[in-house]
Chains A and B, each alone.
Chain A
Amino acid sequence: MQRNGKNYCQHIAMHQMDYHQLLKDCLKQKPESQRMLYEHFAPQMLGVCFRYTKSVSDAEEVLQEGFVKVFIRLKQFKKEGELGGWIRKIMVNTALNYLKTNQKYRYELSFDEMPLHPVSTENPEVILQTKELAELIRQLPTGFQTVFNLHAVEGYKHVEIASMLGISEGTSRSQYARARILLIEWIEKFSIKEKNGRYGNK
């Protein structure tokens, strides 16, 4: 389920970028190539960072830190892998570190042990814009938001999330279940609102 960044490479092909040449030039620390690489991936990566934080400025801070790491560690990137996926991993890890170190998030990021909740079996039909969905994810408490992003969006397993966040697998599962229920609830409310609004407009 884990994403591999294939799409990003396809994007590169679409833009007729010489991916290997660009990588070589970035390794030679050519500023124009670094800028090209940044410009290509930055919007997508800001989307990733946005989901983990509570504001665009925080997301930009994570993005900035993440790209510094990308350029410094670029020689560690194995060419047979997908660059987009690799950059995304760095962004996710940078975002997690940011949550741990930034005082704004530190206290919100609690992972108290909770009993396991059954996964919702409701089947609501919801229609939602991408941006709206991202906004709703960001409304979740930081702990829920992080686990939800890692599991539902990035595709990490609960064992992996547990080791990444220093929590137990059970905690990860319960946090995810709670997040899921909350999110579905909100999506439902949101889509009803949207629906009413649309009817109202008519």
Chain B
Amino acid sequence: MAVMETNNFEKNVQESMDGFKIPPSDSVWNNVEKKIAKKKKDKRMILIFFFLILFLLSGGFWLFNSIKNNTKFQNNQLSNVLKKESKTTNNNDSYLDKAIISSGNTTQKENSANVSKEKIKSLSTIINNKKGVSVINSKLANKSAKRAISDKNRIVSPFQNEILSNKKSIENENNTVNPNNLAEKNSVHGNVKEKNANPDSGIIARNKMNADTSLKNKGGKLITIENSPVKKISNKMQKRKWTFGITFSGGTSIIGEEPLGMNNTVYPYALSALGPGLVNNPGYSPSKIKGSAAFIGGIFIEKNISARSKISLGISYKYYSLLNEVGSRIDSNFASYLGFYSPTNNVKTYRNNFHYLEIPISIKFQLFKSKTLPVYWDAGINISQLISSNALQFTSNPGLYYNDNSLFNKTQIGLQTGFSIILFSSTKNPVNIGPYFIYNASKLANEGLYDKKHFSFVGIRTEILFEKK
């Protein structure tokens, strides 16, 4: 009980209200619990999303750098070995000359063979290790090959007849002489020695030649300078590298309960919304929502996973917009704060903007083998997060549009597909262009004006690649 006097009116009211308690129903706590769990889940999703972006970006950066560094390292290593090799070759030449002069010194002959063997081994190891990763410095290889040829000429001249006669057999030996076969060969040539007046030098010379030949052959057929197989290897290796690119797609966004805007029914319960006691009043219904301009812009990296397929992943900003008819803004203290729009007065078009951050991942398949105009088909999946929106919701009684982004499903999973042709494929910056389609498999909202609706996108996509050649 409270005795209230006007003078102490506020004090009395306050005191009276202090002890005012009403026990809430059980459903309140259940709902609170559910909402907390949902918020926790949303928070976790956002965190996962951002960590995923961070991980992809850092992973991409690391991969890009490591490939770059690896290539540099391998090139350095190769050039060092080739330099060393050319030195050894020169030394061996002098040794070889001596061997030719002294003729018939078996130990020297074996040494020479061993040197060649090691030489081949070391080079072939390096070159083999480089498979799929590095680009061989063709200049160095050419230089070395030229030197080898000059060496060959120099060595061959005294025994031209014998070597020329053996040349064919050397060439027939697959152009690649296995270093392990050298010993065998030596023994074969050892037999020749008995028949030949000056066999040792010839064998040594031939072995050397074999060694040089195999050296070049083993590592990528370096000896065939004109055909430049080194270039072939380097091309192959380059195809396996991650390539960076930018992408832009322009088109239109479409909304509907099914893909391509099919079944775009108007807000179902707006039509049946009756005000309390207003049985004959059907309430207001919202205007139809139409698709409008949309674009996607971002960066991506792609890599060949086989001769005719690539994997691509990236990060993009995605903008969708939808149009509907709304009335004028209601200007009252509260309404202006919340952005209410009457649907009947001064009807005008309102643009509902949706801003997303998206991570797409897709696989591209080359459809035809055309080198001049390759055609690719790609398909993939994307995850996008709604960053902001000014989209309006609708209430049928009293019939108003208002903002409430809490009704949207913020995280969307989408499927994408498209075709593209590659223009300027032989340049450093090939351009992929073609039609592109996205369908958001997730519902835009589970209630409100966008209840059960899905976004689709149809447009033209352009991708510019930045290849390192």
Q: Which positions in A face B, CB cutoff 8 Å?
A: 1, 3, 7, 29, 31, 34-35, 38-39, 42-44, 46-47, 50-51, 56, 59-60, 63-64, 67-68, 71-72, 100-101, 103, 106-107, 109-111, 120-131, 133-134, 151-153, 155, 165-167, 180, 184, 187
A contact patch SS: helix
With an 8 A cutoff between CB atoms, is B168 at the interface?
no
* Other-chain residue from A43, A67, A109, A155 in contact with B14 (beta carbon distance below 8 A): A155
Chain B neighbourhood of A126, CB < 8 A:
3-4
Smallest Cβ-Cβ distance to B37: which chain A residue: A31
Measured in the bound complex, the distance between the Cα atoms of B28 and A153 in whole Å is 25
Q: What is the size, in residues, of chain B's interface with A at 8 Å between Cβ atoms?
A: 43
Chain A residues contacting B464 (CB-CB under 8 Å) are none
Q: Contact residues of B with A, CB < 8 Å?
A: 1-7, 9-10, 13-14, 16-25, 27-29, 31-33, 35-36, 39-40, 332-335, 337-338, 395, 397-398, 400, 402, 404
Closest Cβ of chain B: how far from A180's Cβ, in Å?
7
Whether A106 contacts B3 in the complex (CB less than 8 A), given A47-B21, A47-B22, A131-B20, comes out as: no
Q: Could you say which of A43, A134, A167 contacts B17, with CB atoms under 8 Å apart?
A: A134
* Residue from B2, B3, B395 whose CB has the most chain A CB atoms within 10 Å: B2
Given A60-B25, A166-B333, A129-B7 contact (CB < 8 Å): no
Expressed in whole angstroms, the minimum distance between the Cβ of B448 and any Cβ of chain A is 13
Q: Is the Cβ of B28 less than 8 Å from the Cβ of A56? A: no
Q: Which of B3, B10, B24, B36 contacts A60 (CB 8 A)?
A: B24
Q: Is the CB of B24 within 8 A of A46?
A: yes
Q: Which residue of A lies closest to B19 (CB)?
A: A130
Chain A nearest CB, measured from B410 CB (Å): 16
CA of A126 to CA of B4 in the docked complex: distance in angstroms?
5
A sample of 4 more A-B contacts (CB under 8 A), given A60-B25, A68-B32, A127-B4, is A43-B24, A44-B21, A152-B13, A184-B6
Q: What's the minimum C-beta distance from B398 to chain A, rounded to whole angstroms?
A: 6
Complex Cα distance, B169 from A46, in Å, reads 101
> In the complex, A130 Cα to B15 Cα: how many Å?
9
- Given A38-B29, A120-B6 in contact, is the A46-B16 Cβ separation under 8 Å? no
Would you call A42 and B24 a contact (CB within 8 A)?
Answer: yes
Shortest A184–chain B CB gap in Å is 7
CB of A47 within 8 A of CB of B20, answer yes
B39 touches A130 (CB 8 A): no
Closest to A57 in B: B25
Q: B14 to A130, Cβ gap below 8 A?
A: no
Name the distance in Å between B38's Cβ and chain A's nearest Cβ: 9
* A71–B36 touching, CB < 8 Å: yes
Residues in chain B near residue A152, CB distance under 8 A? 9-10, 13-14
Write out the residue numbers on chain A whose beta carbons fall within 8 Å of the beta carbon of B9.
152, 180, 184
CB pair A47–B17 under 8 Å, yes or no, is yes
Pick 21 A–B contacts, CB within 8 A, sort by A.
A35-B33, A46-B22, A60-B27, A67-B28, A67-B32, A120-B6, A124-B4, A124-B6, A125-B4, A126-B3, A127-B3, A128-B1, A128-B4, A128-B16, A130-B16, A130-B20, A133-B17, A152-B9, A152-B10, A153-B14, A184-B9
CB neighbours of B19 from chain A (8 A): 130
- A68 and B20 in contact (CB under 8 A), knowing A60-B25, A123-B5? no
Q: How far is A130 from B1 in the complex, measured between Cα atoms in Å?
A: 7
State the CA gap A128–B2 with chains docked (Å).
6
* A130 engages B2 (CB within 8 Å): yes
* Closest partner residue, chain B, to A105 (CB atom): B334
Q: Report the separation of the CA atoms of residues A121 and B398 in the bound assembly, to the nearest whole angstrom.
A: 41
In the complex, chain A residues whose CB is within 8 Å of the CB of B16 = 128, 130, 133
With A and B bound together, what is the CA distance between A56 and B5 in angstroms? 29
Q: Is the CB of A166 within 8 A of B337?
A: yes
Bound-state CA distance A50–B20 (Å) is 10
The interface residues of chain A lying within 8 Å CB-to-CB of B35 are 64, 68
Q: Is the CB of A106 within 8 A of B2?
A: no
**In the complex, A87 Cα to B402 Cα: how many Å?**
28
* Inter-chain contacts of A165 with B (CB < 8 A): 333
CB-nearest residue of chain A relative to B39? A72
Beta-carbon nearest neighbor of B10 in chain A: A152
User: Quick check: A56 and B14 within 8 Å, CB to CB?
Assistant: no
Chain B residues near A124: list those with CB within 8 A.
4, 6
Give, as a whole number of angstroms, the nearest-CB distance from B246 to chain A: 39
Chain B residue, CB-CB nearest to A102: B395
Among the listed A44, A46, A106, A187, which residue makes an inter-chain contact with B4, where contact means beta carbons less than 8 Å apart? A187
Return chain B residues, CB-CB under 8 Å to A51: 17, 20
User: Of residues A7, A152, A165, which shows the largest number of chain B Cβ atoms within 10 Å of its Cβ?
Assistant: A152
Cβ contact within 8 Å between B334 and A100: yes
Residues of A within 8 A of B14 (CB): 1, 3, 152-153, 155
Write out the residue numbers on chain A whose beta carbons fall within 8 Å of the beta carbon of B18. 7
B280 to chain A, nearest CB (A): 20
Q: Which residues of B contact A72 (CB under 8 A)?
A: 36, 39
Q: Given that A38-B29, A56-B22, A63-B28 are known contacts, is A103 also in contact with B400, CB under 8 Å in the complex?
A: yes
Closest chain A CB from B8 CB (angstroms): 10
Using CB atoms, name the residue of chain A closest to B43: A72
**A126–B53 alpha-carbon span in the complex (Å):** 66
Q: Which residue of A lies closest to B14 (CB)?
A: A153
Nearest 9 Cβ contacts at the A-B interface: A43-B21, A47-B20, A46-B22, A68-B35, A166-B333, A100-B334, A152-B10, A126-B4, A67-B32
Give the docked Cα–Cα distance between A38 and B32 (Å).
Answer: 9
Q: Give Cα distance in the complex from A186 to B308, angstroms.
A: 85
Compute how far the CA of A106 lies from the CA of B332 in the bound complex, rounded to whole angstroms: 10
CB distance from A11 to the nearest CB of B (A): 11
A64 neighbours in B (Cβ, 8 Å): 28, 31-32, 35
On whether the beta carbons of A111 and B5 are closer than 8 Å, the reply is: no
User: Which residue of chain B is the closest to A123 with respect to CB atoms?
Assistant: B6
Q: Is the CB of B28 within 8 A of A106?
A: no
CB distance from A45 to the nearest CB of B (A): 8
Q: Which of B6, B22, B27, B398 lies in contact with A103, CB distance below 8 A?
A: B398
Contact A103–B3 (Cβ < 8 Å): no
